Each structure stands twice: as C-alpha cells, then as structure tokens.
Amino acid sequence: MRQLRQDGEPIAQAHLRHLNPFPNNLGEVLARYEQVVVPEMNLGQLATLIRAKYLVDARSYTQVAGTPFTAGQLAHTLRETIRGN
C-alpha cells in the first residue's frame, strides 16, 4: 500500500478486526469505491460474504499456498486492478 501511494495510485484500505457481525459502517465504506479487492489466504469466503451482504463487486485475490502474500505480489495485483486488467 505504501509503495502504491508513493507512486500516486488512488488506493485505500480497510482492515476488518471482526467479521461477525461486520462493522456497522462497512457497507457505507465499501460503497465509496469503484473497485474492491479482498486479499485472502483461503478460497475467497470473505469476498463471497461481502458480495452477498453489501452487493459490492468485490474481487477476490486468494492464495492457498500456506505462505503469506509478499508486498510485491499484492502491489502487482492491486496495480493491475486499478488499471482495469
């Protein structure tokens, strides 16, 4: 995120600390953005819940390799999303 902001990319982030219930203002926050990317270290369950509850076109970015995303992997995916790829 830091590198993307330094490069001038229009990007924001939200970190969910709890999922049940979702934060009261999550729908309002998500509605402010044209694109929503949900990085997950599973098969995309959170993105599915967000799409169902808030009718947001949340793009799921998943990895099930047992290792965390690298900053470079995440930056690449987010940059591609911003550019419409």
Over residues 17-32, mean pLDDT: 94
Dihedral sign of CA atoms 30, 6, 74, 79 in order: positive
Residues 6+ apart with CB under 8 A from 79: 4, 9
Report the pLDDT value the prediction gives residue 1, as an integer from 0 to 100: 80
pLDDT tens digit sequence for 29-85: 999 999 999 999 999 999 999 999 999 999 999 999 889 999 999 999 999 998 887
Q: What is the pTM of this model?
A: 0.84
2 — pLDDT class (breaks 50, 70, 90) = confident
